[in-house]
Every structure is written in structure tokens, then in C-alpha cells.
Structure 1
Amino acid sequence: MQTIILIGFMVAIGAVIGGLTNSLAIKMLFRPYKEMKIGSWRVPFTPGLIPKRHDELASQLGKMVVDYLVTAEGLGKKLKSTHFTKGMISWLQIEVRNMLTSNKSAALLIEQHFGMKNSKQLLLTKTEEIVRNGYKQFLNVNKEATLEQLLPESLQKNVEAHLPNVTTYILERGHAFLQSPEGKEKVSIMVDRFLLTKGTLGNMVSMFLGNERLVDKVQPELVKFLKDQGTNELLHNLLQHEWEKVKQKKLTDVESYLNEEEIVSCIVRTADTNIPFYEWLEQPMSEWSSIYQNNIENNLIPKFVNVLVDLLSNHLDVLLEKFHLDDIVREQVQAFSVERLEELVLSISKREFKMITYLGAVLGGIIGLIQGFIVTMIG
């Protein structure tokens, strides 16, 4: 009977020691949280294993995430997967559809999402800045160039092609003016002024012929002159010659005739009036977007997603390197309190830790049983 009691006592002692040892070992993974000292002497095994290796653990976790978990190859496969691409396209289509069918204006949406007020005015201001800079750069680069070099060839040909029409128009308008009462009055005044400049001779001619009779003789001759084919050719050649002279002028020669403010303002007003985008900014999205909605959803969005996925996949190595993911993981783990880490680990592995404690008790009991048999046999 004493033998059985001895063996049972040794089994119980072994089980208690084994269970307490494993339980203590588990607790020593996290506790104590901080180093403990008696005077200048540090108490052994303080702090616990994980608090002591907290920084090293954070660094190793960062390297593990970058080297084995979040890799460029793995992310690339995920990005190129059909499931991800379709999901991305579907999500974008829903978001864009909601935006395009909204009763809010583009300006209001921009203000809500980006905090940018008066977006149309800002756009016009930016347009004016671009036009002004482009105008100045154009003048600076081409100041020694001739108008013939700067003007489009099609414009030059168009001007030359219309020179005969311009010639005919000028002569016809002159002919119509001379035959009008106003034109006759102007000719009469010119004749009278001419005769006055001739002194006595002019007075004699005016006295003998009379102003009206002289006008009646001069006016038909002027009309004949304007209707003459030679006059047409003369004026056409004159206009052609002047046009050639204009083309040979350098930009610096005509720069003084150009008003920068008027030109820039005219271009900006033209853009504001004729480019629908400026007007759309202040209109509800649903009023003008319907004609573009189908094309955007079914063509542009899938193409955009495919291009974006290819772009990201081809540059994931560089992006991950620039992102410094290992540093982010390390910093997050370092900022994670040991108490919270212990609570998290125990909440996940509490059952397994209990089993380890029980296993220690069982192994301790078995060892106690063996020791009991050995002691009995020796005794």
C-alpha cells in the first residue's frame, strides 16, 4: 500500500511540476513586459522573450512580408487575374454611372471631392496662363522668322486665291460709289478743291466750264477707268505685290501691331464659347453625359483598367521598393504594445496553450510514475 501511495505521490508531483513548468514557459514568452532590476543587477529572464526581441521581431516580420508574403510576383498574378480585373471594371462602372447620372454639376462634384471652388474660373485662369505663356514663347522663338515661314501654306494659298475676288469687289464698290449721289458730291468737292489749288488757272476753268459741268465730264471717265480690264489687272498686281511684301516681313516687324492682352483674351473667350467642356462644368451631369455614358462604361473603363493593371504589374518591383513596405510593417509592429500582442496571440491560441500545459502535466506524471517504479525497485 505504501508503494502505491509513493508512486501516486511522485506521479502527482511530476504532473504538477510539468504543468506549471509549461505554463510558466508560455507566460515567459510575454512577461514580464519590462526589464526588472535589483539595484544594478538585472533579474534574469526579464523582460520576457517577445518584449526583449520586440524590435528584432518587427524587423524580421517586415522582411518576411516583403520577401515571402507581399511579393511583386504574387501581387502581379493577383492583379492580372480575371476575377480582380472584372471586379475592378464592375466597381468603376457603377461609380462612374452614379456620377454621370447625378443631378449635380461637375463643378459641385469637384468641390465636394477635391475642395476646389470656382473650378470654371480656375480653369479659365489656367487656360489664360497657358495661352499667354505660349504666345510669349512663340514670339521669342520665331521673332526672326518671316510671315511666309510662319503662316500655314494652306492659308497663304487661300489668300492668293481670293485676291482676284478682292480686286473685283474693290472695283465694284468703287464703281457703285461713283455712280451714287454721295459719290458725285465727293467728286465735285475734290474737283473744286483741285481747282482752288491751281490759282488763277483754276478760277478761269471753273468760271468758263462751271463746277457741275466739269464733274459731269470727270465722273464718267472715272467710272470707265474702274471698269477697264487694265485697271483690274493693275489693282490685282498691286495687291499681289503688297501681299508678297507682307509675307517677307519678320515677326518682329509686326509685333508692335499686336496687342497681347487682346489676343489672349480673344483666344480664351473663343475657348469658353466654343468648347463645350467649359459650359458642362456648371450644368448637371445628367444633362450632357448621356451621349457619352455607354462609350465610357463599355469601352473606356475596360481599356483604362487593362492599361492600369499592365502598368502596375510591370512596375511592381519599383513600386514596392519605393513604398518601403518592410519599414511600414516594422514600424507598425514596434508601435504595437506587448500587452495587446499577448492578448491577440492568447485569443487565437488559448486552447493550444492549454493543451501544451496539460501535455506538460501528463509528461511530468509519466516521469513521476517511472521514477516511482525505479525508487520502489531500488528500495
Structure 2
Amino acid sequence: MNVWMLAINVIVGSAIGGITNELAIRMLFRPHRPWRIGRWQVPFTPGLIPRRRDEIAVQMGRLVEEHLLTKEGVKKALAQGKMEQNLAGWLTKAARGWMEDSRSLREWTLILYPGAIDEDGRIGEHIRTPIRQAWERWLQAQLAEHREKPLRELIPETGLARLETALEEVSRLFLEKCRAYLHSQEGTQTLQQMVRGLVGGGGGMFGGLVNMFLGDEKIIGKLLPSLDELLTNPALARKIHELLRVEADKLLDKTVGDVADWVGSEQIQSWSDAVFNKMEEQALRWADKPLSELLAPLRDTITSVLIPKVSGWLVETLEKNVEKLFDKLPISEIVTRQVEGFPIERIEEMVVGISGREFRMITVLGFILGGIIGLVQGLLSLLFS
């Protein structure tokens, strides 16, 4: 009989220990909501984690902000990690995908923004009008900003050097064209008419005597070598070049406002319209080309120069602005809101999935400890009875 009592004590103690531990584990999560009998809330409902959910969310937010996702930790990760290399690899992969795409820019535009191209294949008016207005504002702003500046200040040194070279070339070409015209049939006839006019208007006694002794061909034969020698004289070329340079200097000393007033607002508007239409036509021609063809000339520059620079700049900028970013980013509040909105069932599933084996061991340990306590209690009862 004493053995049976001892066995009963062990069984009861083991059951109490195991069931108690299992119940304690269950009460961490369950019930998910409070139980009520009328207006009276059943004690220990809801479970510990659902009841303390708001406090847990706040503490987790502080934990992440103060110990896990810190400024120092992010800086260290950016400095020691392969962030720049990984970013460059990702950008290179994305860029190669674009550079090997056979679709045209127009097709991509229609995919990303269907209303950008109208039915006639032109840029949509709702896009064209703002761009046109922006172009007009930019042009007027440039004219207003540089109105009092001489043209010379707006032309770079290389441009002035090219202008000087162009003036020399114009002087040379002018004299060459004059020589070619004089030696042509039309030029010879023109020269004959000029000679006749000079010596007597083609008639009269003096003109008749000149024509009788010399004749047109003899006069032209005498004049052409002299004119040819004059036109090939370097001194004449330098003189023409100096005259052109003086006129060019006068023009370069004029202000943008002077030139704009001389040209007139209507002509400027006409030029502006022509330039804008030309840019629009060029943009539409580019739009019909495959993206791979447009990016082909830039392939090596993009992959070997642009992407490494962009990656380095992004990582460097991020390192410099980590503190500002963390100051403006409410990490604690973000984590708190996320935890508060996370389903309690999902939290239970995650915790049990991670620690389910340990929870079962706690339950088994409760059975073992309860059985041991029941055995000791039974032995003590037998001893003192």
C-alpha cells in the first residue's frame, strides 16, 4: 500500500510539474485577447506578450536604435564592408541590361509613360508645352543676365583664336575667288565692259582711238597680269585681314543688348522657334533608335568610369551623412510601429518555431522535477508516519 501511495505521489507531482510548465509557456502568448464574463475580465488574460505588447514594442525600438542599428555600426560597416564594390556590381549589371536592350527609346517611353507620344508620333502637347515654356524662360533669362556684357566676354579664348584664324582664311579665300572670277569668261567680259566705260563709255573720239590702237584683248592682256599680281600680293591679304579684324572687333565690343535690339524681338523669336523645333526633331529621331545603339558609344565610359565614380560618391556621401540621416530618421518609432502592427499569432509562430524544442524540454523538465518532488514528498510521508 505504501508503494502505491509513493507511486501516486510521483505521478501527481510529475503531472503537476509538467502541466504547470506547459501552462506557463502557453500563457506567454495565450489567450491572444482578454476573456470577459460580463464586465469582469478573467485574470491572466490576455497572455503576457499580448498584454505587454506596447511596452515590448517600445523596448525593441530602443534596443534597435541604441544597440543594433547605431551610427557607429553603420559607419564601420560602410568603411570595412564591400558596399562600394557590391553597389558597383549591381549598377554594372543594370547598365548592361539597358545597353543590350533592342527596344527603342520610344517603346520604353510608351511603356513607362503611355501619354508621352501622341497619335501622330510627336511629343504629347502636355509635355511639349511645359518644355517649350521652360525653353522660352531660359532664353529670356540668359538675354537679361548677359544684356550688358560685350560679346567678347561671352566667347572663350579658344573661340577668339578660331575667329582670328577664320578671318585669315576668309581674306585668302576672297582673293582666290577674285582671281578665279577674273580668269573666267564672265570675269573677262565684265572687265572688258569696265575698260570700255573708263576710256570713253564705249564711243567718242578718244574711245575710238584707244580701240583702234590697242583693242579690248590687248587692254585685257595688259591688265590681267597686273591685277593677278595685285591679288597675289601678301600685303593686300594682310590689309584685307586687318580691315576684317577691325570690323570684327567693333562687333565683339557690342553688348548682347545692342545686338538683340538690332536683330529685333521678332527675329529672335523666329530663331528660338527654329532651334526648339530642330531639337524636337532630333529628339524624335533619337527616340526611334534602339537603346543599345544610343548607349553603344558610352558603353566603356559608363562601365569603367561613370559607375565606379557614382558608386564611390554614393558610399562616400552616405558615410558623411550617416549622423544627419540617423538624426532625421526615427528608427525607434519605426520599429515600435512595426512591432505594434505585427500579428500576435505570427509572433507566437516565430518564437515557437525557433524555441519549440527548448519549450518541450522545459515541459519535460517540469514532469521530471514534479516526479522527483512527489517522490521526496512520499518518502518523507512514509518516514514520519
Q: Does TM-score exceed 0.5, indicating one fold?
A: yes
* Alignment correspondent of 2:339: 333
* Alignment correspondent of 2:271: 263
Q: Is the 8 A contact 2:260 2:268 kept in 1?
A: no
* Alignment correspondent of 1:19: 18
* Alignment correspondent of 1:200: none
Q: Using the TM superposition, give the Cα deviation of residue 247 of structure 1 relative to its aligned residue in structure 2, in angstroms.
A: 4.5
144-153 vs 178-187, greater mean Cα deviation: 178-187
The number of residues matched between the two structures is 360
308-317 vs 26-35, greater mean Cα deviation: 308-317
Percent of pairs with identical residues:
30
* Alignment correspondent of 2:51: 52
Question: How far apart, in 2, do the equivalents of 1:130 and 1:5 lie?
Answer: 99
Q: Which AA in structure 2 matches 1:138?
A: Q
Q: Is the 8 A contact 1:34 1:51 kept in 2?
A: yes
Q: Which AA in structure 2 matches 1:263?
A: W
* Alignment correspondent of 2:141: 137
- SS of the residue corresponding to residue 29 of structure 2 reads coil
Q: 1:341 to 1:115 in 2, by over 3 A?
A: farther
* Alignment correspondent of 2:217: none
- SS of the residue corresponding to residue 66 of structure 1 reads helix
* Alignment correspondent of 2:216: none
Gaps of 5+ in 2: 212-219
Q: Using the TM superposition, give the Cα deviation of residue 357 of structure 1 relative to its aligned residue in structure 2, in angstroms.
A: 1.5
Q: Using the TM superposition, give the Cα deviation of residue 248 of structure 1 relative to its aligned residue in structure 2, in angstroms.
A: 4.7
Question: How far apart, in 2, do the equivalents of 1:187 and 1:125 lie?
Answer: 62
Q: Is the 8 A contact 1:107 1:120 kept in 2?
A: no
Q: TM-score of the superposition, structure 2-length normalised?
A: 0.69
Q: TM-score of the superposition, structure 1-length normalised?
A: 0.70
Q: 1:293 aligns with which of 293, 299, 304?
A: 299
Q: 1:318 aligns with which of 324, 342, 352?
A: 324
Question: How far apart, in 2, do the equivalents of 1:348 and 1:279 lie?
Answer: 60
Question: How far apart, in 2, do the equivalents of 1:99 and 1:110 lie?
Answer: 14
Q: Using the TM superposition, give the Cα deviation of residue 49 of structure 1 relative to its aligned residue in structure 2, in angstroms.
A: 0.8
Question: How far apart, in 2, do the equivalents of 1:10 and 1:312 lie?
Answer: 67
Q: Which AA in structure 1 matches 2:312?
A: N
- SS of the residue corresponding to residue 102 of structure 1 reads coil
Which runs of structure 2 are paired with 1:180-219 in the superposition (5 Å)? none
Q: Deviations over 1:16-75 (max 9, x none)?
A: 221221111111111222223344443322221111111111222222223333334444
Q: Using the TM superposition, give the Cα deviation of residue 316 of structure 1 relative to its aligned residue in structure 2, in angstroms.
A: 3.0
117-126 vs 90-99, greater mean Cα deviation: 117-126
85-94 vs 23-32, greater mean Cα deviation: 85-94
Q: Is the 8 A contact 2:171 2:240 kept in 1?
A: no
* Alignment correspondent of 2:256: 251
Q: Is the 8 A contact 1:30 1:342 kept in 2?
A: yes
Q: Deviations over 1:189-224 (max 9, x none)?
A: x99xxxxxxxxxxxxxx9x969x99xx9xxx9xx99
Q: 1:377 to 1:48 in 2, by over 3 A?
A: same
* Alignment correspondent of 1:97: 96
* Alignment correspondent of 1:7: 6
Q: Which AA in structure 1 matches 2:259?
A: V
Q: Is the 8 A contact 1:34 1:46 kept in 2?
A: yes
Q: Using the TM superposition, give the Cα deviation of residue 346 of structure 1 relative to its aligned residue in structure 2, in angstroms.
A: 2.2
Q: Deviations over 1:100-149 (max 9, x none)?
A: 12212244345545768449958988876665334222221232334454
Q: Which AA in structure 1 matches 2:61?
A: G
